Structure 1
Amino acid sequence: MSRTHPARAIIFDTDPGVDDVMALAFLTRLPGVELRAITTTFGNLALEATTRNALTIAERFGLDVPVAQGAAHALQNDQPRFVPHVHGADGLGDVHLPVPRRTVDPRPAADVIIDLVRRDPGAITLVGVGPFTNLAHALHKAPEIAGLVAGVSLMGGAFGTHGHTGNVSPVAEANVAADPWAADIVLGASWPVTMIGLDVTQEVVMDEAYLAALRDQAADAGRLIWDISRFYQRFHEQTRGLRGVFAHDSLAVAHAVRPDLFTTRSGSVRAVAGGIAHGQTIQKPRGLLCAPSSWDDRPEQAVAVGVDGGAFLDLYRRVLVA
């Protein structure tokens, strides 16, 4: 089954990150889609760095939207583990982009999310591609927003489909592992969540020839993607043997506007905090008969278990080149 919801206004919650920038380039060029705000969180790097990167890219792309700073750590103040070996010391492939002149919105990220959702009920989709701490803070401050959003598309989780079980541990995906307490809250709220996890994102590879074509055909955005993805691609080559990169965060954007590209499975979802399974996501699929458990009395959410990767890559290329 595939869940549909109109998604033409988006708040982008992010921890840039090379693939975050690739997703933002895609999002801001999609016809008929309006970016309402960028909210930042810790994740790939510390909050100061991810916020600087968001301001840098907003300035580079000429985006006239608020950029609001959010969570610096997990709900339980767990010590963050950053990944400069994946995205570069600056988070953008160490290409040394100019220091941004823009400044952050004075409101905390959670307040920006609440304000914009309340202002336009039923219109906004939240696309989260970092740890989900800002969304959990927003729910804590204003739980009613769960009934006011059009939908929530999250890049996160790993459920074992196609053999994809984790990228920071044998069972855990990075965004959930960074704050599983927040993930469990967000997945337990009464809003429609779709998790775009490793089950599908590691099925879609932008290979070197594809990225080179973007460089040559997609003007400034294509050249920027090529430049910042050189470091990222080397990481994929060294760890996965890929001559390319996974399209992680861009697939969460794609789901928000083209849910028909995905096959999903419904059921309540929990995120594990603590122990050797820290960060694992587990779904109790609809109809599964078992003894009463901690999955009961929680809303069913959607987990992506299939994707039309060829159609997505064609869509991304057409949007960027256009």
Structure 2
Amino acid sequence: MKKIIFDTDPGIDDAMALLLAHACQDIEVVGITTTFGNASIENTTRNALYLKQKFGMHAEVAKGVNTPLDQVKTEPATLVHGDNGLGNIELPDQINTPLSPLIAHDYIVETLKKQPGEITLVAVGRLTNLALAIEKAPEIGKLVKEVIIMGGAFGHNGHTGNLTPFAEANVYGDPLAADIVINADWPVTIVGLDVTQQTQMSNAYLEKVRTHSEKYGQFIYDITRFYAKFYNDDLGLDGFYVHDSSAIMYLVSPEIFTTKQGHIRVITEGPAKGHTLFKGSNRVFPIDEWATAPKQTIAINVEPQTFNQRYFDIICGN
């Protein structure tokens, strides 16, 4: 059983990824920590509690902070995810699910200390909570099983950015946090736009999910109407790219991804803010801020047909 803390800003694709984890027999979602981005921290936390309540999840939910480390806030992505973060579907006025008394980064620290070597952190939003956790308690680097991040872009398959020409939205939203997390002494795999934009779910595919998954299908179909319309209006796609679920799929089926290792730095200011730079060689340059950092892993390719079949099989098997 793979135990995870899911760090997230739900978010339509976040909700799809969380449901994939919840449906997977091999994953136990121990905790859900919320961050800002796709919606305000209030909305993302409410959405996490709503998903827990609606689908009978046992995971604790811990609310995160609402400001990036550099204090430069970006507006919630309501254009992509709707005003409520879940495609403007109707949500209940009252959600009777308690929050953890701990703030998200303290929840991460305490949980890793209680279950050393057992927990994988899967982060699909801004990396603020993880940065605060590893800065407060560097010893958790030795206690985590691994860290899987949906974020960044390294130029493979022609994908370099989605918020700016050279920055992916999660990393741009808190580049200081991303640089801290990626260069901390723990094993990181980055599943970025290089692979997430290789996988698409069409409207016909989503219709098939709707009719074949009694537990999740209608909900997934409903929340993705807004999301699919955005992708059609913006990029002319029939359906959408599969971002956050790619991080969960990497945990479930790493063999369908191609990866490589190297040193990574994040540009934290200026026109290239949020750009993730990968150094694959072992050469040490006269000036080299990469050389002393730990080598981390990036995903550079994926088998999209296998991905979609496995997502379908897991979601529709419940």
* TM-score, scaled relative to structure 2: 0.97
Give the 5 Å matches for 1:88-107. 88-99=82-93, 100-107=95-102
> Is the 1:19–1:247 Cα contact (8 Å) retained in structure 2?
yes
Secondary structure of the structure 1 residue equivalent to 2:39: coil
What's the CA shift for 1:287? 3.2
**How far does the alpha carbon of each residue in 1:195-231 deviate from its partner, in whole angstroms, 9 at most, with x for none?**
0000000000011111000100111311000000000
Q: Specify the alignment match of 1:11 in structure 2.
A: 5
Where does the alignment leave 5 or more consecutive residues of structure 1 unmatched? 1-6
Q: Of 21, 25, 33, which aligns to 1:27?
A: 21
CA distance in 2, matches of 1:291, 1:162: 31
Per the TM alignment, residue 71 of structure 1 is displaced from its structure 2 partner at its CA by 1.8
AA aligned opposite 2:274: G
Q: Percent identity?
A: 45
Alignment partner, residue 4 of structure 1: none
| Aligned residues of 2:10 and 2:85 also touching (Cα < 8 A) | yes
User: In 2, are the aligned partners of 1:266 and 1:286 still within 8 Å (CA)?
Assistant: no
1:68-217 equivalences in 2 (<5 Å): 68-99=62-93, 100-217=95-212
CA positional deviation for 1:189: 0.6
- Does the aligned pair in 2 maintain the 1:132–1:175 contact within 8 Å? yes
Who is 1:303 aligned against? 298
Q: Residues 284 and 291 of structure 2 are in contact (CA less than 8 Å); yes or no, is this contact kept in structure 1?
A: no
**Equivalent position to 1:60, from 46, 49, 54:** 54
1:288 shift after superposition: 5.1
Query: Conserved in 2, the CA contact under 8 Å of 1:81 and 1:178?
Result: no
Q: Secondary structure at the match of 1:283?
A: strand
Q: Does 1:253 align with 2:260?
A: no
Q: Secondary structure at the match of 1:305?
A: strand
Q: Distance in 1 between matches of 2:84 and 2:260?
A: 37
User: Does the C-alpha gap of structure 1 residues 198 and 59 become closer, same or farther in structure 2, counting only changes over 3 Å?
Assistant: same
Partner residue in 2 for 1:294: 289
Distance 2:23 2:298 in 1: 26
Match 1:45 to one of 39, 47, 54: 39
Q: Deviations over 1:97-137 (max 9, x none)?
A: 22322131110011111111111111110000000000001
Q: Which amino acid aligns with 2:190?
A: M
Structure 2 gap segments, 5+ residues each: none
Q: Could you tell me which amino acid in structure 1 is paired with residue 79 of structure 2?
A: H
Letter in 2 for 1:199: D
Letter paired with 2:170: N
Question: Which SS does the other structure have where 1:127 is aligned?
Answer: strand
- Cα RMSD for the two superposed structures: 1.1
Q: Post-superposition shift, 1:143?
A: 0.5
> For residue 227 of structure 2, what is the amino acid of its counterpart?
Y
Tell me the distance in 2 between the aligned counterparts of 1:119 and 1:312.
Answer: 33
Shift of residue 286, structure 1, vs aligned partner: 3.5
Aligned to 1:231: 226
SS in 1 for 2:23: coil
Q: Is the 8 A contact 1:200 1:307 kept in 2?
A: yes
Which SS does the other structure have where 1:220 is aligned? Answer: coil
**AA paired with 1:147?**
K
Secondary structure at 1:219's aligned position in 2?
coil
Query: What is the match of residue 3 of structure 1?
Result: none
CA deviation digits over 1:302-321, x for unaligned, max 9? 11101111111111000011
